[in-house]
Amino acid sequence: MNRTEILDELKKILAPYTLDKEQLAAVNEETDLIRDLKINSANLVDIIIDAEEKYNVEIDYDDAEKMIVVGSCIDVIESRLKAQ
């Protein structure tokens, strides 16, 4: 799975947690989950759980803390997928 494919899937995971559909449609690697997508910080946990389920990977607490912008989310998911 390349970065573009991961991004497409990630957008689906993020969708239920943001009301800003325009920002979601325009998501790029620099998009900040909290600042740009206005996601409630408490929901980051839910996004990580959804991503774990989607990709069938385990994201530990240290990796989870890196998932601030879309690009870093993709980094974490990519590295977890490669580690499999």
Partner 1 sequence: MSRRVVVTGIGVVSPNGVGVPAFLDAIQNGTSGIKFMPLYEELNFSCRVAGKPDFIWEDLKKYISEVTFHGLKGTNIGYGITAAMDAWADAGFEYDTDEPRWDTGCIFGNSVADTEAMKNVITKVDNKEVRKLGSRVVEQAMNSGVTSYISGRLGLGGMITTNSSACATGTQAIMMGYDQIKWGASKRMLVGSSEYVDPYVYGAFDSMRVLSRKFNDQPERASRPMSATAGGFVPGSGAAALILEDLDYALDRGARIYAEILGASSNSGGQRGGGSMTAPNPAGVMKSVTDAVTAAGIDPDQIDLISGHLTATMADKYEIQNWTKALNRSGKNFPLINSLKSMIGHCLSAAGSIESVAAILQINHNFAHPNINIEDPNPGILELIDEGCIPLTAVKKDINILAKANFGFGDVNTCLIFSKFNNK
| Binding status of residue 79 toward partner 1 by CB under 8 A | no
Q: Residue 43: exposed, middle, or buried by beta-carbon count in 10 A (0-12, 13-18, 19+)?
A: middle
42 touches partner 1 (CB under 8 A)? yes
Taking residue 33's Cβ as centre, other Cβ atoms within 10 Å add up to: 23
40 sits near partner 1 (criterion: CB under 8 A): yes
Any contact of residue 46 with partner 1 (CB under 8 A)? yes
| Stretch of residues binding partner 1 (CB under 8 A), selected from 5-13, 15-23, 65-73, 74-82 | 15-23
